[in-house]
Amino acid sequence: MAEQQKKPKVGIVGSGSWATALSKILLNNVDSINWWVREEDVAQNLHIYGRNPLYLSSVGFNRESLNIYTDISKLIAESDHIIFVIPAAFMKKQLSRIAPNAFKGKKVHSAIKGIIPETNQIIAEFFISKYGMSSQDISVISGPSHAEEIALEKLTYLTVSSMNPLLSEEVAALLGCKFVKTTTSDDIYGTEYASVLKNIYAIAVGITKGLGYGDNFISVLVANALQEMERFIAAVHPIDRNLSGSVYLGDLIVTAYSQFSRNRTFGNMIGAGYSVKSAQLEMKMIAEGYYATRCIHEINKKYNVEMPIASAVYNILYESISPYIEIKIMEDRIR
């Protein structure tokens, strides 16, 4: 009898709700995972109780299936596949002491929906330029998905994108389970940029809700957001793609409309009168769209794509323009 294929060692970097949800998913297909968490108290709780005390604390883990690390370099060394699930704004700092050759022979997967703010790079570009990784060893894990529904085992669809079809199929197999269906794509740039942009548009939806706009207007806003997304992605990485797919349109819809959307919540607070700093202090989780708004604004200086919605969000968040005035101006630029 042929020897059974050895299961890969999978590492998770991050301790938020999405990292916790992915850990739950993976443990349907592997016996154990390596899991890096920043906070010592979270590490202790996972060791002792098998629960993340800060996020999705209702999810219980078999403690024997968890190898907990507080040193990223050790987790990387002990893992074949490393899934990054930390805010993009903190990536460069968290990896600042990682050796340039640390990812040699490793497969890296991004479940991050943001851009590295210091360099305006999507996650795949960051690993290629910073660590000399091949695009064949990188994948992107995208929704539409909310961690809170995965915790409840609500049916969820995930897309794994990679320029290496064998890698995307392998990761899709690791993520598929009774409550998660998976598909694959080769559009790594499109899926990453779509996941970044939808956070900006969710902030726009939140702002308009906070200002008192209704569903009629928001439906127009979301339709225009998809058109804006299509124009920008086509300019940055022009290939044949259909943005009506779930990884693009589906992810936009769930982020714009869901009660679990932190970016929509952040925008709603801004529209209701909170200052940016006050809204950030009150929220317990990072709204990736805040950082993405400035990054996309900077990137678009090169492409000059017409982006009235993203521009309005930028003016509100970074130029201190009144949300009421800015959205009023935007009304006449969308149809």
The token pair that represents 290 in the structure block: 């805040």
Helix axes 188-211, 308-318, angle to 10 degrees: 60
Q: In the 3-class helix/strand/coil scheme, how is the chain assigned residue by residue? A: CCCCCCCCCEEEECCCHHHHHHHHHHCCCCCCEEEECCCHHHHHHHHHHCCCCCCCCCCCCCHHHEEEECCHHHHHHCCCEEEECCCHHHHHHHCCCCCCCCCCCCEEEECCCCEECCCCEEHHHHHHHHHCCCHHHEEEEECCCCHHHHHCCCCEEEEEECCCHHHHHHHHHHHCECCEEEEEECCHHHHHHHHHHHHHHHHHHHHHHHHCCCHHHHHHHHHHHHHHHHHHHHHHCCCCCCCCCHHHHHHHHHHHHCCCCHHHHHHHHHHCCCCHHHHHHHCCCCCHHHHHHHHHHHHHHHHCCCCHHHHHHHHHHHCCCCHHHHHHHHHCCCC
Residue of 24, 107, 113, 198 marked active site? 198
**Which residues on adjacent β-strands are paired with residue 17?**
none
Q: Which residues of 202-222 are buried (b: 16+ CB within 10 A; e: fewer)?
A: bbbbbbbbbbebeeebbeebb
Active site residue 198: yes
Give the HSE-up count for residue 145: Cα atoms under 13 Å, Cβ half-sphere.
30
* Residues annotated as catalytic (active site), given as ranges: 198
